[in-house]
Amino acid sequence: MVRIFMLLDFLADWLVGIYNFRIVAHYLDEFARGLANTLAAAGASLILSVALGTLVAGARLSGTRFLTWPAEAYVQAIRSTPLLLQIYIVYFGLPLLFPAALRWPELWLGIVALTIHTAPYMAEIIRSGIQSVERGQIEGAMAVGMTFLQRARHVVLPQAFANTLPALLGQTAILVKDTSLLSLITVFDVVAAGMLLNSERIRPGEGFLTVAAIYLTIYLILLVLSQRVQRTLAGKAWNRNPA
């Protein structure tokens, strides 16, 4: 029994040497503030990128060159350049084009950059969802006299989002991880909180392992949500097509 207690004491000392919970406890307020900014950036960028992505997807499917070509160029330009470069272009370039942006908080500029980066990926997901809607349903909506906007609002887009919801949630998880780059433009996010702990206490284990744990927790929550959505949609499909 004595040996067991000695072993437990040794493991406790070894664990504290790697990760001291007491040090992390002193920075919980900073991690909470960083997490709030991370979730705010991810949430705002998600809403804006879905809205912009829907417009881009509609432009690519419009069949009009005046709309298709700019949308295609935008998608290819964003997908062929790194996110960090896009963040720097927005951070340094947007205030030059719009002087009012000089008074914007860094978080707002980060949201703009993340939206511009994520929208093309959302657009491709939404475009595939729109193309998955059966042609017969669109023709049925046309037969009852629905306008283009009515068909998009009541028939096409609801089914498109339902068909691609798991993929949208997957892209959301990527968006959350992408927010970590905003610390490079002085946005105080989760990564910045970990860097603050490390710079003041010289404890990289406590700083960056905590950051990793926070991102892992967010990812697991999104993963569980995605799996539940997939099971729900699969159940609805089974009910519509019983054996």
CA distance to 16, 106, 133, 178, 191, per residue, from 188 (Å): 27, 9, 42, 14, 8
pLDDT at 90: 96
CA distance 230 to 63: 32
pLDDT reading at 138 higher than 50: yes
pLDDT reading at 136 higher than 90: no
Residue 155 · residue 107 · CB < 8 Å: no
* pTM for the whole structure: 0.84
Please, what are the domains in the chain?
23-233 (1.10.3720.10)
CA–CA–CA angle 78, 224, 158 (5° rounding) = 60
State which amino acid sits at residue 225. L
- Per-residue model confidence as pLDDT tens digits over 81-91: 999 999 999 99
Q: Is the dihedral of CA 227, 55, 113, 99 positive or negative?
A: negative
Q: What is the DSSP letter of 133?
A: S
- Per-residue model confidence as pLDDT tens digits over 38-49: 999 999 999 999
